[in-house]
Amino acid sequence: DMRQDYDSSIHLFPVIEPFDSGYFEQDMHKIYYEQIGNPEGKVILFLHGGPGAGCSSAHRRLFDPEKFRVIFFDQRGSGRSKPYASIEKNTTQHLISDINYLREKLKIEKWILFGGSWGSTLALAYAIENPVFVSALILRGVFLGTNAEINWYLYEMRRFFPEAYDRFISYIPEEEQHDILSAYHKRLTSDDQKIRNQAAKFFASYENSCATLHAETRDAGQSALSMAVLEAHYFMNNCFLPSDYIAKNVRYIQQLPCYIVQGRHDVICPPSNAYKLHKIWGKNSKLRLVDDAGHSAFEHGTLRNLMLFLQTV
């Protein structure tokens, strides 16, 4: 019964296995990558979110395996990469250099960058430094890596998800709640594995509970530790980007086509950021605001629009 794959116009592609996968070593990290689809196809680099979320086989189903050669990799500390949840030598600049290493290793001249949430931040930061290697960007749930967005996430999201926020801060003693990030960071980098795991569960389930239009208490599952540890690490360091870095440097990439899909009710990464990026970008940017979607890539309207953009690149 194929019906589960359809939503009037959505047809996800079947789950396929990679035609190539392996590890490459950088610093003390072993970084996992895989390739799916047509080895002669248009090249797409998929950048996962988090930081720390890792790639999942569900993401493979977005891409037409006859048209595209899609490269996935688990960023340092994420997914199948080792050491798991490690923050050592783990910065935006390290990830950008990993991407270039992979590009050279796989002999790719240019690729389309496909990223959602933190993946959109990384795609933009990579493209600004390496515009010559990028042919287009497809972004979802835009996050520009600014302090304002980090503070929104840590303090303001409670206006929409008060019960999820209550759970989120309940783990932190009241006298530390004025600086929720430092309080979590301290626990997530604790030497006590039990404290780390417990803090991670609270930290990661906050985001997962706020990611879809229909709120539900969601456990982040096996990626909870890497997501919590890496998000806290990146947020504590302003995503390792100078203030307002992306907005100030869009001019270096605005000659490239940019396709943005944004849930209008995305509370984690509010649509004002996607709209701001779209306005700065100018005529080569296309923005689809999806009225019946939140932050997740897997809500119907978001999926449909991502797949429509993939047909046009």
CA nearest to 79, candidates 49, 61, 114, 53 = 53
Q: Which two tokens stand for residue 140?
A: 């979802």
Cβ neighbourhood burial of 60 (10 Å; 0-12, 13-18, 19+) = buried
CA nearest to 297, candidates 102, 25, 88, 114 = 114
Q: How far apart are CA 290 and CA 266, in angstroms?
A: 10
**Does the annotation mark 295 as catalytic?**
yes
Which residue of the set 98, 185, 295, 296 is catalytic?
A: 295
**Does the annotation mark 117 as catalytic?**
yes
Which conformational region is residue 8 in: left (phi greater than 0), alpha (psi within -120 to 50 degrees), or beta?
A: left
Which residue of the set 81, 233, 266, 278 is catalytic?
A: 266
CB contact burial 20-29 (16+ within 10 A = b; e otherwise)? eeeebebeeb
**Does the annotation mark 266 as catalytic?**
yes
CB contact burial 42-56 (16+ within 10 A = b; e otherwise)? bbbbbbbbbbbbbbe
Which residue of the set 81, 117, 285, 296 is catalytic?
A: 117
DSSP annotation of 88 reads T
Active site residues: 117, 266, 295
